[in-house]
């Protein structure tokens, strides 16, 4: 691979030297499907050298099925919003009904690139099973037109609570028209899928982006007397989110549980809160019956 990176093809790509690339094509052993040529095309896409990429797609004629390079170029081009390159790759036979096509859709939706999004969707990218998640990703960055466009296609929003997740993200930002559309399609915070939604949104990885959506979901009536509700309790405690903890308690979350003990033990662990905030969180939890787990006793040498 190091030899490929130092090849004349790679050096010409880095220098954006189309004349050198043309001369390399005249060499006796030139093979458009050779690893060094495919690697150079990937480097051009990675570096955003789109004129060079177009040269490879046209003049060089690199087979896009070799090492699935077409799918690689598709994803880089979509991330950069290069509809012209995406179209060229698809015209050369790269399918968007694939994981790469879904990744390209995510890029288009989160960029709010409606022209690219429409093109990919119309080119039969897999919106049926991934559209709900793509709409959620767009909602997290407030790309409401992209959300609306995704939902205009045949999208499964019932599986795994993705519709409820999307509704909470939209509702938290006051997108009432889109919320009403989802409700009309059967999205319901009382459904079993709502628990999956609450559990996902309550992840520590998602909290800073999704805490408003969690609040919306709880206020909308999702059942917090559940494992998902306990997960929200623990995460809110870890971030020292006293306001949301108070709401969870009010709605009936099971504080007298292992989760309640975990919440006390990890109060404000991730939130960068003051000592007073830590005390306030612990007092709230213990005041409603939570008991911190006892620290394990130290093993002494004579115990062995």
pLDDT digits (tens, 9 = 90+) for 99-148: 999 999 999 999 999 999 999 999 876 788 899 999 999 999 999 999 99
pTM reported for the whole predicted model: 0.88
| Regions of the chain with pLDDT less than 70 | 1-5, 125, 295-304
3-state secondary structure the chain: CHHHHCCHHHHHHHCCCHHHHHHHCCCCCCCCCCHHHHHHHHHHHHCCCHHHHHHHHHHHCCCCCHHHHHHHHHHHHHHCCCHHHHHHHHHCCCCCCCHHHHHHHHHHHHHCCHHHHHHHHHCCCCHHHHHHHHHHHHHHCCCHHHHHHHHCCCCCCCHHHHHHHHHHHHHHCCCHHHHHHHHHCCCCCCCCHHHHHHHHHCCCCCHHHHHHHHHHHHHCCCCCCCHHHHHHHHHHHHCCCHHHHHHHHHCCCCCCCHHHHHHHHCCCCCCCCCHHHHHHHHHHHHHCCCCCCCCCCCCCHHHC
pLDDT of residue 1: 46
pLDDT of residue 158: 86
pLDDT of residue 80: 97
């Amino acid at each position: 691979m190091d030899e490929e990176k130092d090849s004349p093809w790679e050096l010409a790509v880095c220098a954006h030297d189309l004349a050198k690339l043309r001369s390399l094509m005249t060499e006796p052993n030139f093979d458009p499907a050779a690893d060094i040529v495919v690697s150079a095309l990937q480097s051009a896409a990675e570096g955003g050298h789109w004129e060079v990429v177009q040269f490879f797609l046209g003049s060089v004629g690199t087979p896009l099925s070799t090492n699935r390079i077409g799918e690689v170029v598709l994803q880089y081009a979509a991330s950069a919003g290069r509809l012209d390159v995406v179209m060229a790759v698809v015209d050369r036979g790269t399918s968007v009904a694939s994981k790469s096509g879904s990744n390209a859709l995510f890029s288009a939706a989160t960029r709010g690139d409606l022209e690219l999004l429409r093109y990919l969707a119309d080119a039969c990218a897999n919106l049926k099973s991934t559209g709900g998640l793509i709409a959620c990703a767009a909602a997290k960055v407030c790309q409401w037109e992209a959300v609306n466009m995704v939902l205009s296609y045949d999208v499964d929003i019932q599986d795994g609570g993705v519709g409820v997740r999307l509704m909470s993200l939209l509702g938290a930002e006051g997108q009432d028209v889109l919320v009403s559309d989802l409700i009309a399609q059967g999205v319901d915070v009382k459904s079993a899928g709502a628990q999956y939604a609450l559990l996902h949104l309550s992840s520590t990885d998602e909290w800073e982006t999704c805490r408003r959506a969690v609040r919306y979901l709880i206020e909308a009536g999702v059942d917090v007397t559940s494992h998902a509700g306990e997960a929200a309790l623990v995460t809110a405690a870890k971030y020292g989110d006293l306001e949301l903890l108070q709401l969870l308690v009010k709605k009936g979350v099971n504080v007298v549980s292992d989760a309640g003990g975990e919440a006390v033990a990890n109060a404000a662990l991730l939130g960068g809160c003051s000592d007073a905030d830590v005390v306030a969180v612990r007092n709230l939890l213990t005041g409603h019956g939570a008991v911190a787990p006892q620290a394990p006793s130290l093993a002494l040498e004579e115990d062995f």
